[in-house]
Amino acid sequence: MSNKVEKINIKAALTLATTTLLGCHNLAQAETAETDTWEFDTAFLVYSEVDRVNAGEAILNAKKTFDDDKILNLKLTVDALTGASANGAVAQPTVQTFTRPSGNGQYQIKAGDIPLDDTFHDTRVQFNGQWTQPIASNLTASGGVHISKEYDYLSLGVNGNFSVDFDRKNSTISAGFSYFQDTFTPEGGIPKPLASMLIGDSSAPTWDDEFIKTRIGTEDDKTTTDILLGFTQVINRRMLMQFNYSYSIVDGYLNDPFKVVSIVEGSNENNSGVTQDVIYESRPDSRVKQSIYAQSMYHFDSTVLDISYRYMWDDWKINSHTIDSRFRIPMGDSLGKESYLQPHFRFYQQSAADFYRPFLIDDNTLPTFVSADYRIGEMTAFTVGLKYGMLINNGNELAFRLEYYRQTSTDAGFNKFGALNDVELYPTIDAIIAQVTYSF
């Protein structure tokens, strides 16, 4: 009984809060909305890498379906991130010192360790609003806005989508468009691409003047324009398929201001592999990505298989394969009312960007573009997980998800020599993902 009272109160409070946010309902309407069709989905996720990044993310999604099939969807996301991330420099047999991205102080990395910058901590708040409605027989339109703000980053976005149903609604063609405008304002400013990281006595009176010389400004921005074309087909009573093609243009500041590249000794007979300099990365100021995506849902007698494949390629010469699959097994009332188990498996493989280098050699003149960011290097990753869901409190769904993610960077054919032979260049990242979802 107490559960039920609490549930109604939460829902009433959220309904009121949501309608107040909308600013288009008065209190009386908000109160009557309690019995209307607001649906709330909530989720809390913890993402934890061994010795590295830890993140927590909470989502509150409110959806209202109106009588005439118009749908309003509002979503609030809050996440917090802390921990260490590889800065791109190579491990060395000696202690290394790096300047923090802000310019305030330095940090040291032990001999043999992969350099991690532990200054990462950020909190992000994101709001999404989406309105979907039929505009003619078999024609549906949708439009939405996106606002995301973190301490050093602002992202604003809009999107629109049209879909047409035909052949007894067995086939659907859709066309969508989205546009994002992002502004990056990192503490310490935007580093000058290919400039050497200033390392030394950060309390010296000349430090600030010297540090500012490695900066090109306080902020920079980028735009992302996406076009998404889709085709959905009901195959038969048990099977549904979707095919998408997407085209994405990203323009502007595409560097990661926190990433650097080591320049090692390798041009003379010594070939020591010892770091001579550390420079800020430099990426092109545009990227064109394309992908094809196919998904199939199949209902066996009681289980459901969801399997998808994505092939992505871009003009940085990265291409990737992603296979994602879920298999839902209903457990009846054996593990809770209408419970189910859902194993999840995901496989991901990507090739390196053509300007990716794990390090540079000191003989060459600097290339125009270079990055040692493992995220645009060659890698393989997989995820295995299990979701367990059940109905509680008159049909509200409670679900738990536990997953393990392993990402293995691989050598795309770069020669190692000297000190580099004794250190790890391509690390593995292990992460645990734990999530609770409650819908009411």
Q: Where in 339-378 is the site for other proteins (CB under 8 A)?
A: 340, 348, 350, 353, 375-376
Of the pair 103, 289, the CB lying nearest other proteins is at 289
Binding other proteins (rule: CB under 8 A), the pick from 48, 54, 61, 133 is 61
Residue 170 within binding range of other proteins, rule CB under 8 A: yes
Show Cβ contacts of residue 256 under 8 Å, excluding neighbours closer than 6 positions. Answer: 281, 371, 373
Please tell me whether residue 206 binds other proteins under the rule CB under 8 A.
no
Collapse the DSSP code of 144 into the 3-class scheme (helix H, G, I; strand E, B; otherwise coil) and give the result: strand
Asked if residue 244 binds other proteins (CB under 8 A), the reply is yes
Residue 238 in the binding site for other proteins (CB under 8 A): yes
| Nearer residue to other proteins within complex by CB, 92 or 409 | 409
Q: Does 59 bind other proteins (CB under 8 A)?
A: yes
State CA 144 to chain mean position distance: 19
398 is a contact residue toward other proteins (CB under 8 A) = no
222 binds other proteins (CB under 8 A): yes
401 makes contact with other proteins (CB under 8 A): yes
- State which residue, 162 or 348, has the beta carbon closest to other proteins: 348
Q: Which residues pair with 282 in a beta bridge?
A: 370
Q: Which of these, 109, 75, 70, lies nearest to 92 by C-alpha position? A: 109
Report how far apart, in Å, the C-alpha atoms of 408 and of each of 114, 193, 264, 374, 378 are.
Answer: 14, 27, 24, 10, 9
**Count of beta carbons in the 10 Å neighbourhood of residue 43:** 17
CB 250 → other proteins: shortest distance, Å? 8
- Is residue 291 a contact residue for other proteins (CB under 8 A)? yes
Phi and psi torsions of 423, nearest 5°: -125, 165
Is residue 32 helix, strand or coil?
helix
Q: Is residue 98 a contact partner of residue 197, using CB atoms and an 8 Å limit? A: yes
State which of positions 402-421 bind other proteins (CB under 8 A).
405, 407
Least distance (Å) from other proteins to the CB of residue 372?
14
Residue 13 in contact with residue 402, Cβ under 8 Å? no
- Binding status of residue 393 toward other proteins by CB under 8 A: no
Q: Which of 82, 104, 308, 428 binds other proteins (CB under 8 A)?
A: 308
Question: Could you tell me which stretch among 10-18, 76-84, 205-213, 414-422 binds other proteins (CB under 8 A)?
Answer: 76-84
Q: Which residues contact 158 (CB under 8 A, 6 or more apart)?
A: 143, 144, 145, 146, 178, 179
- Among 237, 268, 413, 415, which residue sits at the site for other proteins (rule: CB under 8 A)? 237
- Report the run of H or E that residue 183 belongs to, with start and end: strand 171-184
Q: Restricting to residues 110-129, which ones interact with other proteins according to CB under 8 A?
A: 122, 124, 126
User: Which lies closer to other proteins via its Cβ, residue 204 or residue 216?
Assistant: 216
Q: Is 293 in the site for other proteins (CB under 8 A)?
A: yes
- Among the listed ranges 31-39, 150-158, 210-218, 263-271, the one in contact with other proteins (CB under 8 A) is 150-158
Pairwise CA distance, residues 403 & 398, whole Å: 17
Residue 402 β-bridge partners: 386, 434
Helix or strand (DSSP H, E) at 99: strand 96-99
Could you say which of 10, 12, 16, 57 contacts other proteins (CB under 8 A)?
57
Name the segment binding other proteins (CB under 8 A); options: 39-47, 193-201, 209-217, 264-272.
Answer: 39-47
Cα separations (Å) of 79 from 4, 17, 125, 146, 154? 29, 20, 7, 15, 14
Positions in 86-105 near other proteins (CB under 8 A): none
Q: Which one of the spans 29-37, 290-298, 357-365, 416-424 is the region binding other proteins (CB under 8 A)?
A: 290-298
Q: Nearer Cβ to other proteins, position 11 or 321?
A: 321
